[in-house]
């Protein structure tokens, strides 16, 4: 009697704490807080979807982060609410809305276009493996996020986050901010809480760069950890799908749901054994005893390319002192030994061009409907230049990347004998002569770099990166425009991140380091975006 009275009092106190403290704004709410809110009946999944749709409607005319919302989202949420009411909980993502990049196919009413009118109405025969994993986990696929068209594999003079179908994405930390890319809409949407988290994809920088410029956490998984089945490709050797979220734990939770083998993507057979528990890797003391290396020559090289990145470099060295305070050993000269050759190499270009010819045709061949009859890169190029040049903004945004791949003399596909030397050069320059060599020679657990400098080395060897917010350009920073001259690349309050790079399939380690750093610094909260959606989820008072 006394004990049960105590329990009731405790319950009342818990509910009182939640209600008086208030549920956090959706710009900050973590997946765990949202899950708790669903579990204790503060709101339903339908309420959540309604709130996120309201937030998207508030800001999307300006920011163009979302290209399509899922017309079935409310219905799916209601079905998941029903399941919950009947006691079936699929896992930590049950009923949680997530936006996915507009290159990951879903078999529903939504299009999968990579931002091109060529693929409007071109539906897949079934869900991509990633989409079916999300659904199995109870995720509400809320919509498709905008991207740099064709994942930034078309033009030499386009802008990050522009697509013909979705318009120009803007980030929210300074007016007219370049969102970076190519997972631009995912970066902005995760940053502003237009969904609980987002998925992006990366070939070279497309998760890490927009994550850092939108002040969020991004995980670029090892190539092969997440399936590319029915994802509009660039390159089988470099493409990977990963989570973008506001916290390391959120990103780790989403990674757990999407990682794993898929018979439709043979690269996933390289996964070594059972998946680690990525959430359990989020330990505040993860940095104790970690050996982290700084490739000083690489920072010097990038400093030479771009003298505006000094605030990122200064913040990086300050961050390395924090990592040391947290118990890590920092090796300051873990140089990449063949950096000069890397900087001069065209091998990556060769590999991507050759893979794209084959991998794109292979995606197109799987489509169930193909209203524009595009079956090859040549068809897509013709469509862009001749059928719909206006909406595709050709030639203001050129097709230089495709022209090179399709060049009858210098272009070739990945069965050509010229392909293999290029791939081997990549594997050396990112491997022994780059990231893996530095890790092994110095017996390191990870390499750290400012996120702006980090993607290329991991890209060419399929290695993982985790980026976590590290700081912001100072208030007196001068405004630097992008190369097209239409967006603010860097300037006051533009965010940047810290990258951890590791060996293949070492995500759990990198997640641990990023989590420990995030807990010590909590940098994300230091600067607010200039655009903040106001719609919030309606919290019900709980009747006891
Ligand atoms: C997909 O594209 C078709 C063709 O333009 C359009 O009718 C449909 O509304 C789009 N789907 C969504 C969910 O926007
Ligand atoms: C995967 O590899 C096996 C063996 O080479 C092959 O039979 C199969 O068709 C491949 N599957 C796919 C989806 O590429
Ligand atoms: C690493 O690179 C830095 C910067 O170029 C250079 O000063 C240093 O001597 C190099 N150290 C080693 C061990 O190569
Ligand atoms: C960076 O380099 C440009 C071109 O060389 C120069 O005009 C500018 O003053 C430099 N900025 C800084 C901060 O050093
Ligand atoms: C890597 O660097 C070493 C030492 O400078 C050089 O001998 C070798 O040729 C380089 N390898 C490649 C593939 O560039
Ligand atoms: C490219 O190679 C040349 C010749 O070896 C070298 O002088 C130059 O520094 C290299 N470029 C970069 C960016 O490292
Ligand atoms: C982009 O490049 C194409 C081809 O060189 C050119 O026609 C077009 O004017 C360029 N666009 C801009 C905005 O400079
Ligand atoms: C690659 O190119 C060669 C030569 O043009 C061609 O014979 C072959 O069919 C192409 N392979 C694929 C998979 O596209
Ligand atoms: C901005 O202010 C800082 C601190 O006062 C100063 O060190 C730095 O030189 C200034 N930078 C510019 C670009 O004016
Ligand atoms: C959901 C949404 O707002 N989609 C819009 C995204 O931007 C394109 C291009 O401006 C619009 O056509 C969509 O309606």
Ligand 10, pocket residues at CB < 6 Å: 60, 64, 66-69, 166-167
Which of 382, 397, 340 lies closest to 161 in space, CA to CA?
397
Decide: 68 and 112 in contact? Cβ < 8 Å.
Answer: no
pLDDT digits (tens, 9 = 90+) for 97-112: 999 999 999 999 999 9
Decide: 163 and 112 in contact? Cβ < 8 Å.
Answer: no
Which of 239, 242, 174, 244 lies closest to 211 in space, CA to CA?
244
285: Cβ–Cβ under 8 A, 6 or more apart, which residues? Answer: 327, 516
DSSP 216-252: -EEEEPPBTTB--TTB--S-TTT-EEEEEESSHHHHH
CA distance 356 to 162: 20
Quick check: is 158 catalytic? Answer: no
- 236-250 mean pLDDT: 98
Helix (H) or strand (E) holding 501: strand 495-501
Measure 340 CA to ligand 6 centroid, in angstroms: 5
User: Which two tokens mark 77?
Assistant: 């949420």
CA distance 438 to 425: 17
Alpha-carbon distances, residue 243 vs 233, 254, 467 (angstroms): 17, 6, 11
Quick check: is 101 catalytic? Answer: yes
Percent of the chain residues topping a pLDDT of 70: 96
DSSP 138: T
Q: Spot the catalytic one: 64, 101, 144, 220.
A: 101
CA distance 163 to 175: 20
pLDDT at 2 over 50: no
pLDDT at 12 over 70: no
Measure 482 CA to ligand 10 centroid, in angstroms: 23
Which of 57, 64, 45 lies closest to 533 in space, CA to CA?
57
Decide: 334 and 442 in contact? Cβ < 8 Å.
Answer: yes
pLDDT at 350 over 90: yes
pLDDT at 321 over 80: yes
pLDDT digits (tens, 9 = 90+) for 138-194: 999 999 999 999 999 999 999 999 999 999 999 999 999 999 999 999 999 999 999
- 484-503 mean pLDDT: 98
pLDDT at 18 over 60: no
Provide the mean pLDDT of the chain: 96
pLDDT at 438 over 50: yes
21: Cβ–Cβ under 8 A, 6 or more apart, which residues? Answer: none
**Residue in the structure block whose two tokens are 């959540």:** 48
- 25-49 mean pLDDT: 98
Which of 416, 418, 417, 447 lies closest to 431 in space, CA to CA?
447
pLDDT at 416 over 60: yes
**pTM for this prediction:** 0.95
* Ligand 3 site-directed mutation target among 301, 331, 335, most atoms within 8 Å of CB: 335
- Work out which ligand 5 atom sits closest to the CA atom of 337: 2
* Ligand 10 site-directed mutation target among 113, 142, 167, 195, most atoms within 8 Å of CB: 167
- 504-516 mean pLDDT: 98
Ligand with smallest separation from the Cα of 432: 5
DSSP 77-107: HHHHHHHHHTT---STTTT-EEEEETTB--S
Ligand with smallest separation from the Cα of 66: 10
Which of 263, 267, 247 lies closest to 255 in space, CA to CA?
247
Band (pLDDT 50/70/90 cuts) for residue 22 is: confident
* Ligand 7 site-directed mutation target among 395, 483, 485, most atoms within 8 Å of CB: 395
Nearest CA to ligand 6 atom 13: 343
Measure 299 CA to ligand 9 centroid, in angstroms: 21
- 46-52 mean pLDDT: 98
Of 305-314, 341-350, 445-454, 462-471, the one with minimum mean pLDDT is 305-314
Question: How many C-beta atoms surround the C-beta of residue 250 within 10 A?
Answer: 25
Q: Return the exposure string of 327-354: e unless at least 16 CB atoms fall within 10 Å of the residue's CB, then b.
A: ebebbeebbbbbbeebeebebbebbbbb
pLDDT at 284 over 50: yes
CB-count exposure of residue 388 (10 Å: 0-12, 13-18, 19+): middle
Quick check: is 206 catalytic? Answer: yes
CB-count exposure of residue 272 (10 Å: 0-12, 13-18, 19+): exposed
- Three-state DSSP class for residue 68: strand
Ligand with smallest separation from the Cα of 477: 9
pLDDT at 20 over 50: no
How many CA atoms are closer than 13 Å to the CA of 92, on its beta-carbon side?
18
Binding site membership of 362 for ligand 8 (Cβ less than 6 Å): no
Binding site membership of 522 for ligand 2 (Cβ less than 6 Å): no
C-alpha of 153 from chain center = 17
Which of 141, 142, 242 lies closest to 187 in space, CA to CA?
242
Ligand with smallest separation from the Cα of 431: 5
Band (pLDDT 50/70/90 cuts) for residue 307 is: confident
Binding site membership of 266 for ligand 2 (Cβ less than 6 Å): yes
Q: Spot the catalytic one: 183, 201, 206, 211.
A: 206
Nearest CA to ligand 2 atom 6: 266
Dihedral angle sign, alpha carbons of residues 150, 153, 155, 157: positive
DSSP 195: S
Dihedral angle sign, alpha carbons of residues 528, 248, 242, 440: positive
Binding site membership of 474 for ligand 9 (Cβ less than 6 Å): yes
- Work out which ligand 1 atom sits closest to the CA atom of 70: 13
Query: How high is the pLDDT of residue 371?
Result: 98
């Amino acid at each position: 009697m006394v004990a049960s009275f105590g329990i009731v009092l405790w319950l009342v106190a818990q509910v009182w704490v939640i209600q008086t403290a208030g549920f956090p704004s959706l710009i900050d709410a973590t997946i765990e807080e949202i899950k708790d809110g669903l579990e204790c009946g503060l709101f339903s999944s339908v309420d959540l979807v309604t709130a996120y749709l309201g937030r998207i409607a508030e800001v999307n005319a300006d920011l163009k982060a979302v290209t399509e919302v899922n017309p079935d989202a409310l219905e799916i949420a209601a079905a998941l609410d029903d399941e919950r009411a009947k006691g079936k909980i699929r896992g930590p993502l049950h009923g949680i809305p997530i936006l996915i990049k507009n290159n990951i196919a879903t078999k529903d009413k939504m299009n999968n276009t990579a931002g091109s009118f060529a693929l409007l109405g071109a539906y897949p025969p079934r869900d991509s493996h990633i989409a079916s994993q999300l659904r199995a986990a109870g995720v509400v696929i809320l919509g498709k996020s905008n991207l740099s068209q064709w994942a930034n594999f078309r033009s030499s003079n386009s802008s990050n986050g522009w697509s013909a179908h979705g318009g120009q994405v803007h980030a929210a930390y300074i007016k007219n901010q370049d969102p970076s890319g190519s997972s631009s809409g995912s970066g902005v949407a995760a940053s502003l809480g237009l969904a609980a988290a987002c998925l992006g994809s990366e070939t070279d920088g497309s998760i890490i760069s927009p994550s850092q410029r939108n002040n969020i956490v991004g995980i670029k998984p090892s190539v092969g950890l997440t399936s590319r089945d029915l994802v509009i490709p660039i390159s089988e050797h470099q493409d990977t799908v990963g989570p973008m979220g506001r916290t390391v734990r959120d990103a780790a939770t989403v990674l757990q749901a999407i990682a794993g083998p898929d018979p439709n993507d043979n690269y996933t057979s390289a996964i070594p054994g059972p998946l680690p528990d990525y959430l359990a890797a989020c330990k505040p003391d993860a940095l104790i005893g970690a050996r982290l290396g700084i490739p000083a020559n690489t920072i010097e090289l990038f400093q030479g390319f771009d003298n505006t990145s000094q605030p990122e470099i200064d913040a990086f060295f300050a961050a390395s002192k924090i990592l040391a305070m947290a118990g890590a050993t920092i090796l300051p000269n873990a140089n990449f030994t063949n950096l000069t050759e890397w900087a001069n190499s065209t091998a990556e270009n060769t590999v991507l061009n050759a893979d794209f010819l084959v991998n794109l045709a292979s995606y197109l061949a799987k489509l169930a409907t193909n209203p524009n009859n595009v079956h090859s890169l040549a068809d897509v190029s013709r469509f862009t230049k001749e059928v719909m040049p206006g909406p595709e903004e050709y030639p203001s945004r050129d097709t230089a990347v495709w022209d090179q791949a399709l060049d009858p003399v210098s272009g070739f596909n990945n069965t050509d004998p010229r392909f293999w030397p290029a791939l081997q050069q990549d594997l050396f320059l990112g491997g022994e002569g780059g990231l893996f060599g530095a890790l092994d020679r110095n017996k390191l657990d990870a390499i750290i770099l400012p996120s702006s400098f980090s993607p290329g080395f991991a890209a060419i060897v399929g290695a993982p990166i985790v980026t976590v917010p590290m700081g912001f350009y100072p208030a007196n920073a001068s405004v630097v425009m992008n190369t097209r001259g239409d967006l603010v690349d860097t300037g006051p309050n533009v965010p940047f991140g810290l990258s951890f790079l590791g060996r293949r399939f070492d995500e759990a380690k990198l997640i641990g380091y990023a989590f420990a750093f995030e807990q010590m610094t909590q940098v994300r909260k230091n600067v607010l975006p200039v655009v903040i959606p106001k719609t919030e989820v309606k919290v019900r008072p709980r009747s006891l």
